[in-house]
């Protein structure tokens, strides 16, 4: 009897761990990229239960997401959900609100586009009108600024480990890595840092000047006599002027640091590891001294834009590899400068700007681009023509849209509606 009493008072502790497994990486060059197989893993733990406790009732909460990375599109691509019950149960999204978002996207403009919304690694909304979300690589306009900054962060991290010809941090002087700009057209350019190139505080040819964004390299670097590119609009770090030219400079910085042209390095160090298979890059011609080099401009599909956002959402990880440095992901969550005066062209809150990415929740409520109801940890980058790349860590959400076009659009409204489609009981569930 005493033995039975002792046994009946014991608790049974069960802990179960699902160990992630990785598929082998097979370099199989097809077209323009090396496909990367996906990793599937799950971490779970069963709570300790008394053996005499009644069985728990089935939970109505959405299923816990798995650690997941999509295969390249040629190997199956992103996983998708199309049944309303699965969208609600697995992805924790409201199917009715996604339908409302679908209708809003169709009515928001008349452009051809491809749009993708991803929750917990599942495509829950994919809408195409004239553009393929998989293969259409139209120009993504200023979305390329976020990609350029991300690529430069990868280069900086590699340089810290001696894997590039030159070492570079974001605090270094940018023109130390742009020999083609010598002699400098404005002595103040010598003080511009790499960080300032990426957060629109360099003073280099803000779009408010009205200068064309494209041209030969001698024009971009200030050697054609055009005072808008020759002279800084303000002393570095003292103002905020949205600058496409600054990111063309950043592409040259990347080339010097890595010893490879910007497009070559971006493809090798970022695109291929993420399974991106289709792209193109913009090039500028130069005179005999400067030559021909890629700028930061490029084209990607909506699904492949989502890969970059998804990797950043996962703190820079892809499968078992740290592709984007964690410090960069962390720093993009805050403004990377102290300027408080409005941005010169659109009069935006300058605190919106981080390393190439933007912080949409910080848009002033009274402006045309209100950040109302957008989570504070959201990062995005709009591009002319209604193009967008965005991710929201607190919602485990990725949102993209690609048009290849130009012109204005309601960027924040798209992100706001996608965030609102997340079921409230699932908001903190990753």
**pLDDT tens-digit profile of 231-275?**
999 999 999 999 999 999 999 999 999 999 999 999 999 999 999
Q: Give how far the C-alpha of residue 172 lies from the chain's centroid of Cα atoms, to the nearest Å.
A: 23
Which residues fall within 8 angstroms of residue 117, CB to CB, at 6 or more apart?
A: 98, 101, 123, 124, 125, 126, 397, 398, 399, 418, 421
pLDDT-based confidence at 24, cuts 50/70/90? very low
Predicted pLDDT of residue 61: 57
pTM of the predicted model as reported, rounded to 2 decimal places: 0.84
Whether the predicted pLDDT of 196 surpasses 50: yes
- C-alpha angle 211/212/217, rounded to 5°? 105
pLDDT-based confidence at 141, cuts 50/70/90? very high
pLDDT-based confidence at 316, cuts 50/70/90? very high
Using an 8 Å Cβ cutoff, are 74 and 26 in contact? no
Whether the predicted pLDDT of 21 surpasses 90: no
Predicted pLDDT of residue 46: 35
Q: What average pLDDT does this structure show over 161-177?
A: 98
Predicted pLDDT of residue 51: 30
- Rounded Cα distance, 180 and 53, in Å: 74
Predicted pLDDT of residue 259: 98
More confident residue, 200 or 368: 200
- Rounded Cα distance, 403 and 57, in Å: 47
- Rounded Cα distance, 140 and 386, in Å: 9
Q: What average pLDDT does this structure show over 401-419?
A: 97
Give strand pairing partners of 79. 122
Q: What average pLDDT does this structure show over 307-325?
A: 97
Cα 70 to Cα 118, 220, 311, 343, distances in angstroms: 12, 38, 10, 38
Predicted pLDDT of residue 342: 96
Among 182, 253, 252, CA closest to 223? 182
Q: What average pLDDT does this structure show over 43-65?
A: 42
Whether the predicted pLDDT of 327 surpasses 80: yes
Predicted pLDDT of residue 426: 65
Q: Give how far the C-alpha of residue 163 lies from the chain's centroid of Cα atoms, to the nearest Å.
A: 24
Cα 309 to Cα 218, 365, 389, distances in angstroms: 33, 26, 7
Q: What is the DSSP-derived secondary structure letter of residue 316?
A: T
Whether the predicted pLDDT of 430 surpasses 50: no
Predicted pLDDT of residue 366: 73
- The CA R_g of the chain, rounded to the nearest whole Å, is 24
Q: Please give the structure tokens belonging to residue 77.
A: 């691509």
Q: What average pLDDT does this structure show over 397-416?
A: 97
Q: Please give the structure tokens belonging to residue 21.
A: 């497994």
Whether the predicted pLDDT of 44 surpasses 70: no
> Tokens 């492949």 identify what position?
304
Cis previous bond, 125, omega within 30: no
Count of CA atoms in the C-beta half-sphere (13 A) of 9:
6
Backbone region of residue 291 per phi and psi (left: phi > 0; alpha: psi in -120 to 50; beta: other values): left
Q: Strand pairing of 79-80 and 122-129? A: parallel
Give the whole-number percent of the chain exceeding pLDDT 70: 83
pLDDT-based confidence at 29, cuts 50/70/90? very low
Whether the predicted pLDDT of 206 surpasses 80: yes
Mean pLDDT of the chain: 88
- C-alpha angle 238/142/373, rounded to 5°? 80
pLDDT-based confidence at 124, cuts 50/70/90? very high
* H or E element in which residue 67 lies: strand 67-68
Model pLDDT for residues 288-309, shown as the tens digit of each residue: 999 999 999 999 999 999 999 9
Predicted pLDDT of residue 67: 85
Q: Please give the structure tokens belonging to residue 96.
A: 């009715």
Whether the predicted pLDDT of 211 surpasses 90: yes
Whether the predicted pLDDT of 47 surpasses 90: no
Whether the predicted pLDDT of 72 surpasses 50: yes
Q: Please give the structure tokens belonging to residue 378.
A: 């959201």
Which residues fall within 8 angstroms of residue 170, CB to CB, at 6 or more apart?
A: 152, 153, 156, 193, 194, 195, 198, 355
């Amino acid at each position: 009897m005493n033995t039975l009493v002792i046994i009946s008072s014991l608790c049974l502790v069960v802990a179960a761990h699902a160990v992630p497994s990785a598929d082998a990486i097979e370099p199989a060059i097809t077209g323009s990229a090396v496909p990367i197989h996906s990793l599937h893993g799950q971490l779970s733990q069963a709570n300790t239960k008394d053996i005499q406790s009644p069985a728990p009732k089935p939970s109505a909460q959405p299923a816990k997401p798995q650690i997941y990375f999509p295969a390249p599109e040629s190997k199956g691509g992103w996983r998708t959900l199309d049944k309303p019950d699965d969208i609600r149960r697995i992805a924790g999204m409201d199917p009715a609100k996604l339908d409302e978002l679908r209708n809003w996207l169709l009515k928001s403009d008349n452009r051809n586009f491809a749009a993708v919304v991803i929750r917990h690694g599942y495509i829950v909304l994919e809408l195409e009108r004239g553009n393929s979300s998989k293969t259409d690589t139209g120009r993504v306009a200023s979305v390329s600024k976020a990609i350029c900054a991300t690529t430069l962060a990868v280069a900086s991290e590699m340089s810290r480990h001696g894997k590039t010809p030159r070492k570079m941090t974001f605090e270094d002087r940018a023109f130390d890595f742009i020999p083609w700009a010598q002699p400098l057209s404005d002595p103040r350019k010598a003080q511009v840092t790499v960080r300032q190139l990426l957060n629109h505080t360099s003073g280099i040819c803000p779009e408010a000047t009205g200068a064309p964004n494209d041209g030969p390299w001698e024009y971009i670097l200030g050697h054609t006599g055009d005072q808008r590119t020759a002279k800084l609009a303000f002393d570095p770090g003292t103002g905020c002027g949205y600058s496409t030219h600054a990111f063309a400079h950043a592409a040259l910085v990347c080339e010097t640091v890595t010893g490879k042209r910007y497009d070559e390095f971006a493809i090798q160090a970022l695109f291929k590891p993420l399974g991106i298979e289709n792209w193109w890059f913009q090039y500028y011609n130069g005179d005999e001294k400067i030559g021909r080099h890629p700028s930061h401009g490029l084209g990607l599909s909506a699904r492949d834009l989502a890969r970059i956002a998804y990797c950043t959402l996962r703190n820079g990880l892809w499968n078992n590899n740290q592709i984007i440095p964690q410090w960069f992901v962390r720093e993009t969550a805050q403004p990377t400068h102290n300027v408080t005066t409005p941005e010169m062209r659109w009069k935006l809150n300058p605190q919106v700007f981080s390393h190439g990415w933007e912080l949409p929740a910080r848009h002033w409520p009274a402006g045309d681009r209100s950040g109302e109801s957008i989570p504070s940890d959201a990062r995005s980058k709009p591009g002319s023509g209604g193009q967008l790349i965005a991710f929201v860590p607190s919602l485990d959400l990725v949102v993209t849209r690609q048009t290849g076009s130009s012109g204005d659009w309601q960027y924040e409204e798209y992100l706001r509606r996608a965030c609102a489609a997340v079921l409230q009981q699932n908001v903190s569930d990753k």
